[in-house]
Every structure is written in structure tokens, then in C-alpha cells.
A = this chain, B = another copy of it.
Amino acid sequence: MATPLADRDALDIEGLERLVAHILSAPVSGLFLLGTTGEGPSLSYHLRRELVDRVCSQVDGRVPVLVGVTDTSFIESINVAEDAADAGADAVVLSAPYYFAPDQQNLWQYIEAINDELPLPLYLYNMPGNTKVSFAPDTVRRALQLPNIVGIKDSSGDMRYFDRLRRVVAQRSDFSLLIGPEELLGEAVLLGAHGGVSGGANLAPQLYVDLYHAAADGDIQRTKQLQSQVVDLASSIYRVTASGASVIQGIKTALSLLGICNDLPAEPFHRLVSSERRQIEQAVDRLNLHEAVQSLP
């Protein structure tokens, strides 16, 4: 889930409420706050806490709420996790610490140590493009021994790696394997992934739910057709700028064009310029994204 901002250090509270309502208008399986699309690492801690509080209140148990706690500081990760537990969240999500790059031995010791301190179940989050470090399959295999670790989201985009993970996690039937990049959601679920965490679901949640079900049901034709819509959305909305936040800028701009929330990204990024915004506008129109929000209050 994106984090609607009114200002550099203030939530867009009404936008946030509309966004949660919009996403929950489709039968999604859960919400993931403070991930990459949620710009977690860019927000102040008091804002992270406020966001988690507000969303947990609004969701009120209808779906699980997962909270990103990835941080370069062990203690601050724990602090966010404790805030999340207090707010009533259901699980936390953790990637590698990302200033110093740990090797796999350091990474495993880190996971083990932090897991001991967490008040909530833990999902691992493989995001080497941002953190510089991938969870090696053998590190994931070791994590299976810890019952509090309940799944992994892989955003590497490397399907050979993902296939290796699939074989590794098959050893534990209660362990979730989730795919990050939405362009790969269809094929990942066709071949056995348990779901996806898709930024585009901020915009068109029903599309991603439908794609998941088509793939889980083994309906190849429908999977290909819905996946094609997802790739179309991603191609036209996520690559308007060359910056590392192009996906986030695209999603927030589209959300503001849909009347859902403010388009302000967190520092160090900025609103799209008007020519870029017009490109998103054309895509929003062409993709009929307005349809999905007509029923919002």
C-alpha cells in the first residue's frame, strides 16, 4: 500500500481512508504497509506509527495487516514492530539491513537475533535492488526452522531464484511464498506461489485478485489475458521517469487523478512535472481505472 502524504511529515488522512476503502473494496487477502511502495524507509518514525495505528483501526480485523520493519538499525526495527503489535497488526515484514551489506552468515545471525525479539510473526522480504543483498536459498532453508517466520516475499524479479525458493519452502506446508513484481504474478502462481504483493493493487485491486484466482485455478488463457492487462498498466504508469521511485510516483499520481489521495512522494522524490502527469492521465483513461473507483463514497 502506498502512503498518502499531505506534507513532508504529515499523512493525507482523508486520502489514506479513501485508499484503504478502495483497496478493501476488492476481496484482497491483506494489506502490506511501509514496504517499498509504501516508502517505509523514507518516513519519520512517528509518521510510521500514526500510519499503522490509523490503518489498523480502519481495517478493524477484516483482513490481516502486515507492517514493514526493515531498517539499518536493529533497535528501530524492533521499535516499529512493537508499535505494530500495539496497533493490532498481524505480522511484520523484514528485508536485509541496507547500509552495510551483510554476508549470508551475518544475515542469518541477524534474522535469528531479531526474530527472537519480535512480538509478531515475521515475513522475510527479498529486495536486493534496494538492499544490495539477497536471501540465499540456504538462508531461507535455515529460516524454515523458526516457526515464527511464516513466509517470504521475493521482489528480486529472478524467476530461477524464485523456483529455487519454491523447492526450498515446499518443506514447510504453512510457509507462504509470495511474489513481488506484478508482471510475474501470473506465472508465479501458475507454478505454485501462494500469492503476490502487487503495487498496482493500490489502483485496481480487483484486477490483481482476479489474476491470482485465474492462475491458482490453472486457467492459462485467462491468466495470460489478465497478466497482459497488468503488464500494460505497469508499462504505462511505472516508467514515466528514470528515477528509482518511478513506480511510486506513477502510482501516487494515478491515485490523485482517481480522486483518492495526494500525489506527493516522500523525500528525496518529488511530484511529477505536468508533462509526465499528462502521460499518467492518458494511461489512467485508456486503462479505465476510473471504473474501479466509482463506488467509493
Interface residues in chain A, defined as those with a beta carbon under 8 Å from any beta carbon in chain B: 8-9, 36, 39, 41-45, 47, 72-76, 79, 96-103, 105-107, 109-110, 113-114, 130-132, 157-160, 163-164, 167, 181, 183-184, 186-187, 190-192, 218, 220, 223-224, 227-228, 231, 235, 242-245, 266-270
Closest chain B CB from A106 CB (angstroms): 5
- The answer to whether B270 and A130 have CB atoms under 8 Å apart is no
Name the B residues within 8 Å of A9 (CB-CB): 75
- The answer to whether A160 and B132 have CB atoms under 8 Å apart is no
- The answer to whether A74 and B107 have CB atoms under 8 Å apart is no
Known contacts A44-B75, A103-B244, A164-B235; 16 additional CB pairs below 8 A are A42-B72, A42-B99, A43-B75, A74-B266, A99-B131, A100-B245, A102-B245, A102-B268, A105-B243, A106-B269, A157-B160, A158-B158, A159-B183, A160-B181, A163-B184, A164-B231
Could you say which of B74, B100, B266 contacts A244, with CB atoms under 8 Å apart? B100
- Nearest-neighbor residue (CB-CB) of A242 within chain B: B103
- Nearest-neighbor residue (CB-CB) of A46 within chain B: B75
- The answer to whether B44 and A76 have CB atoms under 8 Å apart is yes
Name the B residues within 8 Å of A183 (CB-CB): 159-160, 163
Quickly give the copy total for this chain. 4
Could you say which of B47, B97, B158 contacts A42, with CB atoms under 8 Å apart? B97
Could you say which of B100, B231, B235 contacts A130, with CB atoms under 8 Å apart? B100
Q: What are some 27 contacts across the A-B interface (CB < 8 A)?
A: A8-B75, A36-B99, A41-B73, A41-B99, A41-B100, A42-B97, A42-B99, A43-B75, A73-B266, A96-B268, A97-B267, A98-B98, A99-B130, A102-B245, A102-B269, A106-B268, A109-B270, A157-B158, A157-B159, A158-B158, A159-B187, A163-B184, A163-B227, A167-B228, A167-B231, A187-B191, A191-B224
Could you say which of B36, B44, B184, B270 contacts A159, with CB atoms under 8 Å apart? B184
Closest chain B CB from A272 CB (angstroms): 12
- The answer to whether B268 and A42 have CB atoms under 8 Å apart is no
Closest chain B CB from A37 CB (angstroms): 11
Name the B residues within 8 Å of A113 (CB-CB): 267
- Nearest-neighbor residue (CB-CB) of A157 within chain B: B160
Name the B residues within 8 Å of A184 (CB-CB): 159-160, 163
Name the B residues within 8 Å of A105 (CB-CB): 243
